[in-house]
Amino acid sequence: MFDGFERVRQEIDGVPINAVRGGTGPPVLLLHGFPQTHTMWHRIAPDLARDHTVVAPDLRGYGDSGRPPSGDDHAGYSFRAMAADQVGLMRALGHEEFAVAAHDRGARVAHRMALDHPAAVTRVALLDILPTLHVYDHVDRALATAYYHWFFLIQPADLPERLISADPVAYLHSLLGGWGSGLDSFDPAALAEYERCFADPDARHAMIEDYRAGASIDLEHDRADLDRRVAVPLLALWGARSVVGRSPTDPLDVWRERGDDVRGATVDAGHFLAEERPVETLAALREFL
């Protein structure tokens, strides 16, 4: 699905990070979200690689990257830890500065990366998210219903793990088809890859730890950094039929509270816009880059 790309496996502070790399030109890091892998970029990355060096990794705990312990405070799967992985990966590949385009949980990693590593990130595109702290501080019935998994997955171990293990593929399909995009949005080969990775109990546990961190240590980090803003250009894209697209608050207004140079647009899609509407998503990313 990534013709012409090479497979890279780099150990960063003891955590093996799996990635694909291709193309030449200014470097771009592509980060995926839950419950996916770097494969979600298969309709975007080959075109970008015509004039960019594209690196698409699996976040720690996801895909074929390492699954380190989370620790009692879940810090092992904090966005700060994941951001450090990816900055380390890019440096190991020779890129001290780079642009980032990221979706879902990966976009939350990218937001944290832009705050923690401002010298490394030249610009950041965030696909279909609002800031984590904003989401938790503005929960109502509609949002809690749409994002029920946020509150299910943060329950103590091993309740979510045990319940999902009854039928992992059915649960995965309910997620992929449940946020406005529909299962037919996914290439069969990509869907098979998501199914392969989600079938691993250790991978599912790591993904769940990501959400537990998001509701605990990540909020501590966000509250401590409320006075810090993203200084580099920020592009926010969201699906018209996604939860973000149906938010009562204009996503650009929210992001302008967090960044100095914010622009964005709606894409006629659900949550998984890079796979459902790759042409439109690619065009927006190319213009931004």
Catalytic annotation, residues: 104, 271
Q: How far apart are CA 60 and CA 66, in angstroms?
A: 6
Amino acid at 101: A
Residues 6+ apart with CB under 8 A from 74: 209, 212, 213, 216, 217
Closest residue by Cα to residue 124 from 36, 23, 237? 237
Pairing of strands 234-239, 98-103: unpaired
Q: How far apart are CA 104 and CA 112, in angstroms?
A: 13
Answer yes or no: are the C-beta atoms of 243 and 271 closer than 8 Å.
yes
Q: How many CA atoms lie within 13 A of 176 on its CB side?
A: 26
